[in-house]
Protein backbone atom coordinates (compact mmCIF):
# COMPACT_ATOMS: atom_id res chain seq x y z
CA UNK A 1 0.00 0.00 0.00
CA UNK A 2 1.43 3.38 -0.97
CA UNK A 3 2.00 6.21 1.47
CA UNK A 4 -0.78 8.21 -0.17
CA UNK A 5 -3.26 5.32 0.20
CA UNK A 6 -2.22 4.82 3.84
CA UNK A 7 -2.71 8.53 4.51
CA UNK A 8 -6.21 8.50 2.92
CA UNK A 9 -7.14 5.43 4.97
CA UNK A 10 -5.85 7.07 8.17
CA UNK A 11 -7.83 10.28 7.46
CA UNK A 12 -10.97 8.27 6.69
CA UNK A 13 -10.67 6.28 9.95
CA UNK A 14 -9.96 9.46 11.92
CA UNK A 15 -13.05 11.13 10.43
CA UNK A 16 -15.21 8.10 11.31
CA UNK A 17 -13.85 8.07 14.86
CA UNK A 18 -14.53 11.80 15.24
CA UNK A 19 -18.07 11.41 13.92
CA UNK A 20 -18.78 8.45 16.21
CA UNK A 21 -17.46 10.38 19.22
CA UNK A 22 -19.68 13.36 18.41
CA UNK A 23 -22.76 11.09 18.31
CA UNK A 24 -21.87 9.57 21.68
CA UNK A 25 -21.32 12.98 23.29
CA UNK A 26 -24.54 14.49 21.92
CA UNK A 27 -26.78 11.44 22.37
CA UNK A 28 -30.07 12.44 23.99
CA UNK A 29 -30.43 11.54 27.63
CA UNK A 30 -33.48 9.77 28.94
CA UNK A 31 -35.85 12.38 30.29
CA UNK A 32 -36.96 12.22 33.89
CA UNK A 33 -40.62 11.47 34.39
CA UNK A 34 -42.80 14.49 35.06
CA UNK A 35 -44.78 14.59 38.30
CA UNK A 36 -48.36 13.33 38.21
CA UNK A 37 -49.44 16.11 40.59
CA UNK A 38 -48.61 19.74 41.24
CA UNK A 39 -48.14 20.35 44.95
CA UNK A 40 -47.93 23.51 47.01
CA UNK A 41 -46.49 23.02 50.51
CA UNK A 42 -46.58 25.95 52.91
CA UNK A 43 -44.35 25.82 55.99
CA UNK A 44 -45.26 27.58 59.25
CA UNK A 45 -43.29 28.70 62.27
CA UNK A 46 -45.34 26.69 64.79
CA UNK A 47 -48.39 24.48 65.27
CA UNK A 48 -50.79 27.44 65.10
CA UNK A 49 -50.09 27.70 61.32
CA UNK A 50 -50.36 31.49 61.35
CA UNK A 51 -46.88 32.68 60.30
CA UNK A 52 -45.54 31.35 56.99
CA UNK A 53 -41.79 30.73 56.95
CA UNK A 54 -41.46 29.07 53.54
CA UNK A 55 -43.10 27.46 50.55
CA UNK A 56 -42.30 24.77 48.00
CA UNK A 57 -44.36 24.49 44.82
CA UNK A 58 -43.81 21.71 42.26
CA UNK A 59 -45.34 22.50 38.88
CA UNK A 60 -46.65 19.87 36.45
CA UNK A 61 -43.69 20.56 34.15
CA UNK A 62 -41.29 19.54 36.94
CA UNK A 63 -40.10 23.04 37.82
CA UNK A 64 -39.83 23.84 41.52
CA UNK A 65 -40.43 27.21 43.14
CA UNK A 66 -39.31 27.65 46.73
CA UNK A 67 -38.58 30.36 49.23
CA UNK A 68 -37.81 30.54 52.94
CA UNK A 69 -37.20 27.55 55.16
CA UNK A 70 -38.92 24.28 55.91
CA UNK A 71 -40.37 23.22 59.26
CA UNK A 72 -42.32 20.30 60.69
CA UNK A 73 -45.46 22.47 60.53
CA UNK A 74 -46.58 22.13 56.95
CA UNK A 75 -49.77 22.03 54.87
CA UNK A 76 -49.61 20.59 51.35
CA UNK A 77 -52.23 20.96 48.66
CA UNK A 78 -51.94 18.82 45.53
CA UNK A 79 -53.82 18.59 42.23
CA UNK A 80 -53.55 16.11 39.39
CA UNK A 81 -51.68 17.36 36.35
Provide the whole-model pTM.
0.58
High-pLDDT (> 70) share of the chain, %: 75
The whole-angstrom separation of Cα 68 and Cα 17 is: 50
Domain residue extents for the chain: 1-30, 37-80
Give tens-digit pLDDT for 37-63.
999 999 999 999 999 999 999 999 999
Q: Which residue has the higher pLDDT, 65 or 26?
A: 65
Phi first, then psi: what are they for 16, rounded to 5°?
Answer: -65, -45
Q: Which of 52, 54, 56 is nearest to 68 (CA)?
A: 54
High-pLDDT (> 90) share of the chain, %: 57
Mean pLDDT (the chain, rounded)? 85
User: What pLDDT does 2 receive?
Assistant: 75
Amino acid sequence: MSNQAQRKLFLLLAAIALLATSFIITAPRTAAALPSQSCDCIYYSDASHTTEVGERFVYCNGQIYRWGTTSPYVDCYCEDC
